[in-house]
Amino acid sequence: MSQKTIFNLKENLLETYNVSLDYHGVSGKRLAERLGALSKIGLTEQNGSYRTGFSFEEKEAKELVMKWMKEAGLSVHQDGAGNVFGRLEGKRPGVPAVLSGSHVDSVQNGGHFDGPLGVLSALEVAEAWRETGFTPEKPFEVVIFSDEEGSRFHGGLNGSEAFMGSGDLDEKIKKKDINGESFEKVLQDVGLSLESYSNAKRDLDDIETFIEIHIEQGKRLEKEELPCGIVTGIAGPQWLEYTFQGEAGHAGNTPMNDRKDALLAASEFIIKLNQIPQQINDTAVATVGKLHVEPNGVNVIPGKVTLYVDIRDIYEESRDTLVNRIIQLGEEIGVSHKLSVTYKETLKSPPVPISEDQQELLEEAMKVNGIRPYRLPSGAGHDAMVLGAQIPIVMLFVKSRDGISHNPTEWSDLNDCIQTIHVLKTYIEKLQY
């Protein structure tokens, strides 16, 4: 019997579940069943998830959630970008809606919680209200955004960008997916079009706020022994492409004191760069994860190195300070090694802060549910980042085992998931008044 046959996410989740967490209409078994059902769509040989954006697997997952939405009494529709909305009308018609959700696509051979947990958490709130006979004052919508991960076109958030009208369609049209298919062809394959995609923009006056539940993808909550935490802001990435230009030479015939070793200079740059973020604040980070060495020979002194610096912070001012310090470091390295050091900016996205008022309201919701409030930044991008550029957003992170994500071993305990849903439900109910 293959490993794929015996994989059972539902049973694995329920194995250590504390049923005392089932109250106020929230059901751990229902959430486990639904996470388990979604895990079977695009299941890989390694028991991971393979539902790339705008794929038939993503579409199948959406259709299954749409079925559950209808069974929960929600009115369901899909926009021209494939985004799905399950709406519960409130007692006060015409007022802006509260939205909550995430995505159901995955990276290649990813995990089963990144995205689906956010969608099903929002749906579980609606299910709990149906079971307890509660009707919110304001409309509530459960949302599934298309192609968040971007593993298909090496650039994600395509559904939320269409929803907000913020994506550059001309640039998207130029892209080819991992199979060489155009953006237009990929949309057509799942019943969409460039025209429908470009017309998917929502009237933002109809939206009060968006709340996203997401796994942490880090270890802070695990170290704090907390089921969930309040996101203080979403870091805006800025990428710099650096070129260190020295002189290639024979490794045996060039004396050590007569070299312009580009890799040596780049190495010193990387080591010193690693020390700068912590000198600024505890939310700033900087990473060199990719570099090219030329001519890349065993017996040749490296003459040229190109590397890429990923710089992030949730505060724009301190991120700019970090960028300036890194630029200064590059100049100093160039002088000390007597070689050329140049850079160019390849990406710059603004950080998305989350209002203090909403963070305090989340703190109240956590205290009501007996959880110690804890705040932490998000270093990764999410659909909430796209929405947060124009409308109020909040995020709750769920504890991740070992901080692993985008991997078949990605795991969030069902007890932690359900406790987070109780916080989400309490928070949304506080928004009604």
What is the domain-level CATH number for residue 27?
A: 3.40.630.10
Annotated binding site: 103, 114, 149, 214, 406
Q: Is the pLDDT of residue 151 over 90?
A: no
Q: Say if residue 174 is in the same domain as residue 320.
A: no
Q: Could you read off the pLDDT of 343-362 as tens digits, one per residue?
A: 999 888 889 999 999 999 99
Query: According to the model, what pLDDT value does residue 423 have?
Result: 98
Q: Say if residue 42 is in the same domain as residue 95.
A: yes
> Which residues does 298 contact at the CB level (< 8 Å), separation at least 6?
251
- Going by pLDDT thresholds of 50, 70 and 90, the confidence category of residue 2 is very low
Q: Say if residue 313 is in the same domain as residue 362.
A: no
* Longest alpha-carbon distance in the chain: 83
Q: Are 427 and 365 in contact (CB under 8 A)?
A: yes
The DSSP code sequence of 11-56 is HHHHTT--GGG--TT--HHHHHHHHHHHHTTTB-TTS-B---TTSH
Q: Say if residue 222 is in the same domain as residue 320.
A: no
Q: Say if residue 302 is in the same domain as residue 376.
A: no
Could you tell me which of 100, 92, 149, 121 has the C-alpha nearest to residue 30? 121
Could you tell me which of 213, 239, 217, 168 has the C-alpha nearest to residue 384? 213
Q: Is the pLDDT of residue 36 over 70?
A: yes
Query: According to the model, what pLDDT value does residue 427 have?
Result: 98
Name the average pLDDT for the chain: 95
Q: Could you read off the pLDDT of 67-119 as tens digits, one per residue?
A: 999 999 999 999 999 999 999 999 998 999 999 999 999 999 999 999 999 99
> What is the rounded distance in angstroms from the CA atom of residue 136 to the CA atom of residue 87?
12
Q: What is the mean pLDDT of residues 132-158?
A: 93
Q: Say if residue 211 is in the same domain as residue 87.
A: yes
Q: Say if residue 85 is in the same domain as residue 166.
A: yes
Rg (CA), the chain: 24
Q: Say if residue 334 is in the same domain as residue 370.
A: no
Q: Are 250 and 395 in contact (CB under 8 A)?
A: no
Structure-derived torsion over alpha carbons of residues 41, 44, 46, 49, reported in degrees to the nearest 10: -50
Domain end call among 331, 348, 365: 348
> Which residues does 416 contact at the CB level (< 8 Å), separation at least 6?
227, 228, 398, 399
Model confidence, pTM: 0.88
Q: Say if residue 143 is in the same domain as residue 211.
A: yes
Domain end call among 308, 332, 348: 348
Q: Say if residue 167 is in the same domain as residue 20.
A: yes
Q: Could you read off the pLDDT of 369-389 as tens digits, one per residue?
A: 999 999 999 988 899 999 999
Q: Say if residue 97 is in the same domain as residue 158.
A: yes
Annotated binding site for Zn(2+): 103, 114, 149, 214, 406
> What is the rounded distance in angstroms from the CA atom of residue 188 to the CA atom of residue 219?
40
Q: Are 373 and 362 in contact (CB under 8 A)?
A: yes
Q: Are 263 and 242 in contact (CB under 8 A)?
A: no
Q: Is the pLDDT of residue 239 over 50?
A: yes
Q: Is the pLDDT of residue 5 over 80?
A: no
Read off the CATH number of the domain in which 264 is found: 3.30.70.360
Q: Say if residue 213 is in the same domain as residue 258.
A: no
Number of domains in the chain: 2
> What is the rounded distance in angstroms from the CA atom of residue 120 to the CA atom of residue 144?
10
> What is the rounded distance in angstroms from the CA atom of residue 295 to the CA atom of residue 262?
11
**How wide is the angle at C-alpha 69 spanned by C-alphas 32 and 18, nearest 5°?**
25
- Going by pLDDT thresholds of 50, 70 and 90, the confidence category of residue 3 is very low
- Going by pLDDT thresholds of 50, 70 and 90, the confidence category of residue 225 is very high
> What is the rounded distance in angstroms from the CA atom of residue 20 to the CA atom of residue 12?
18
Range of the structural domain that residue 305 is part of: 236-348
* Euclidean distance between the first and the last CA atom of the chain, given in angstroms as a whole number: 55
The SS3 assignment for 340 reads strand
> Which residues does 189 contact at the CB level (< 8 Å), separation at least 6?
54, 56, 181
Domain end call among 315, 348, 381: 348
Q: Could you read off the pLDDT of 301-348 as tens digits, one per residue?
A: 999 999 999 999 999 999 999 999 999 999 999 999 999 999 999 888
